[in-house]
Structure 1
């Protein structure tokens, strides 16, 4: 047990000023976990005056791949359900961090997110104790247990206007630390219910991880191909951003689920004839990138199990979890590709998702669909949204106006030929 209860704002700041003057050699007047943390931080490069903010990872491609491959990515919808709505309503934010303190997701109240970015509490920032000083996610990772840090208990003065509560998440099978869940905000976080909320979310995440059948992480090829012009392939700790042609080849092999001949692969890749020598040259270059342990020949095949983001969306739809499927869908499957097999799977997945959204009759899901680039011109979806909105509401009038503005001939789901334009709009 800590020697002191949670301190008041004034008391904690007074203790911080007194201990900073003594270079934190003898941290007194604060809880033992805070005193111990301050002493650890004093030996690091963190500045207690807040003049040095946590570092921000600049390699967005690597960070993107890291988020997708992280074990907690699969339970993020559950965490959103437990903490996201409450955080947004109460003016707080929630975050999920990796074992080194890197913030992988930060979501919640929009104005609060803006203020949090001012002290670099944002996706990609590293909030370990060594980089950010005493703080709930960093100290929870350091101690391996739930932690609550309020105002002046933060080592860095840049965070003295904030309170936070965090709890670590462990692999239910091995006990290995996976990351940490955090709630940050104002005075409402300096309360027992806030700590209980993150504890409950961490336990729920561990229970969900135990329920989800998982493949052996070191033996799985992970593909990210939704809403992207190039596939991100993660295997054995390495991330490859493939060329457009290699992206098509890998995706075709993954969708086939078995080995294919060179002739079959050529047909799946293009409606035009692909010379055998050209295809062999591309596969040789691809094997040089991936290695012979991953790409086999005679027949051509990926030699390890594949897990794709498109697969996860399909599984969620099969389970009736439409909202989670829509959350996991950042856009069409490899939208610039014209490979026949890719086009067919792209169309099939989009039609399944669209049909589930339309069939749900859920106002929120319909709104999310039409607000997305690929659903902006979907006349049927706008009409469905008009029907479920309350009569006489401004939102219903706006939806009805949009539906009327769409020409019947163009108010259809996006067609394959329009995906390149959609991708270009999404980048602007």
Structure 2
């Protein structure tokens, strides 16, 4: 990462990779290091309505009981944000709340790192994981007197991100027990949500099963078989079985043996070899999930690459980038998979080039598959202001590629 994006303290002691990546995202989004407060996303009337309608309203009293009083006793704050990073609830002593107002850490403010710079709630939203940010790791200088720890909260039925639970305070928070306490409270909230959730309905037709496939960034597919009644069976497939499932999932009407072989093998594959692979795959998935004549998946399919395709079609580029964990089965040479992989990557790349969104372009060029994308670096330079700390990084990468391509 370019040293222009780091404080002198960070350069002296080194910066964690996830924090460095967050600083780069913050700079690419145009956050000003000297910005005093986080922006307000909801005024009082809208905030009340948002809180009342939000699923986390059911568990806020529980969280305030088990965690809120603890943080008040140690001079810290507890905050609960929605999936967009807007703080719906902030709890603490009156004195500590007044101090937090100076940096805009108030109900209704938005702490998405693209708006407020690197912070624990924003990092937890960006990565989907626990996040701890200490003093000098904050992007904005106004926040560097504080430390924070945050973890996502998910809907236990759908795994949809509901929001983030955060604890913010002083140096006393910078101990492993803080993150453990926040994580435990979040899991307690999820358990409470599950207790009040209606029982899952079983599909009316077909097998009643559903396949959830993860192909993006994986050399071997991750498969979850959902029986519609809360029972899940997870498995990781071999590379060949991953290719077969990917091709069948992309062909809902099914494929003949010859059609599947053409999509699967770079050269003519023996029909007996394919039949053997399909028999082994049927043994893993079950007869009710893999049908023949033609070969097809006999259950509804949910896939991470399908979600990205749908988000692109809907014009929701930010969600598509958030969901794009990497190319489809990146090491597969199966012709049909190569076509899937290159088609999705090309669609996403073209949408990025047209977007003129520097933070989204930066997410692409930070990745393993996009770091040598010369056209994307050029497009990024065209929209990054000359005074931005990102400009030195972009110019440096273009110079590197110029030298290598020469």
> Is this contact kept in 1: 2:84–2:163, CA < 8 A?
no
The structural deviation recorded for 1:228 is: 0.7
Higher RCO (C-alpha 8 Å, min separation 6): 2
The structural deviation recorded for 1:108 is: 5.2
The structural deviation recorded for 1:78 is: 3.9
Partner residue of 1:305 out of 292, 300, 307: 300
> Is this contact kept in 1: 2:264–2:334, CA < 8 A?
yes
**Which residue of 2 is the match for residue 106 of structure 1?**
129
Pick which of 216-225 and 235-244 moved more: 216-225
| CA RMSD after TM alignment | 4.5
Partner residue of 2:382 out of 387, 391, 403: 387
Per the alignment, in what secondary structure is the counterpart of residue 302 of structure 2? strand
Per the alignment, in what secondary structure is the counterpart of residue 256 of structure 1? coil
What does residue range 271-420 of structure 1 map to in structure 2 within 5 Å?
A: 271-407=266-402
**Which residue of 1 is the match for residue 224 of structure 2?**
234
The structural deviation recorded for 1:395 is: 2.8
With normalisation by structure 2, the TM-score equals 0.55
Alignment CA distance shift 1:405-1:169 (3 Å): closer
The structural deviation recorded for 1:111 is: 3.2
d(CA) in 1 for partners of 2:63 and 2:131?
27
d(CA) in 1 for partners of 2:390 and 2:123?
31
d(CA) in 1 for partners of 2:377 and 2:64?
57
The structural deviation recorded for 1:363 is: 1.2
The structural deviation recorded for 1:185 is: 2.2
d(CA) in 1 for partners of 2:64 and 2:317?
47
1:322-377: CA deviation from partner (whole Å, max 9, x where unpaired): 12211111110001111111111111100111111111111111111111111111
Partner residue of 1:220 out of 210, 213, 216: 210
The structural deviation recorded for 1:253 is: 0.5
d(CA) in 1 for partners of 2:168 and 2:342?
42
Alignment CA distance shift 1:96-1:163 (3 Å): closer
> Is this contact kept in 1: 2:121–2:166, CA < 8 A?
yes
Per the alignment, in what secondary structure is the counterpart of residue 250 of structure 2? helix
The structural deviation recorded for 1:178 is: 9.4
Alignment CA distance shift 1:93-1:408 (3 Å): same
What does residue range 23-422 of structure 1 map to in structure 2 within 5 Å?
A: 78=84, 84-85=112-113, 89=117, 91-93=119-121, 105-106=128-129, 110-111=133-134, 181-186=164-169, 219-236=209-226, 237-407=232-402
**Which residue of 2 is the match for residue 155 of structure 1?**
none
> Is this contact kept in 2: 1:96–1:182, CA < 8 A?
no
List gaps (5 residues or longer) in structure 2. 1-60, 68-81, 88-109, 138-146, 171-188, 194-200, 227-231
The structural deviation recorded for 1:95 is: 9.5
1:130-159: CA deviation from partner (whole Å, max 9, x where unpaired): xxxxxxxxxxxxxxxxxxxxxxxxxxxxxx
1:150-204: CA deviation from partner (whole Å, max 9, x where unpaired): xxxxxxxxxxx989899885879xxx999874222227xxxxxxxxxxxxxx9xx
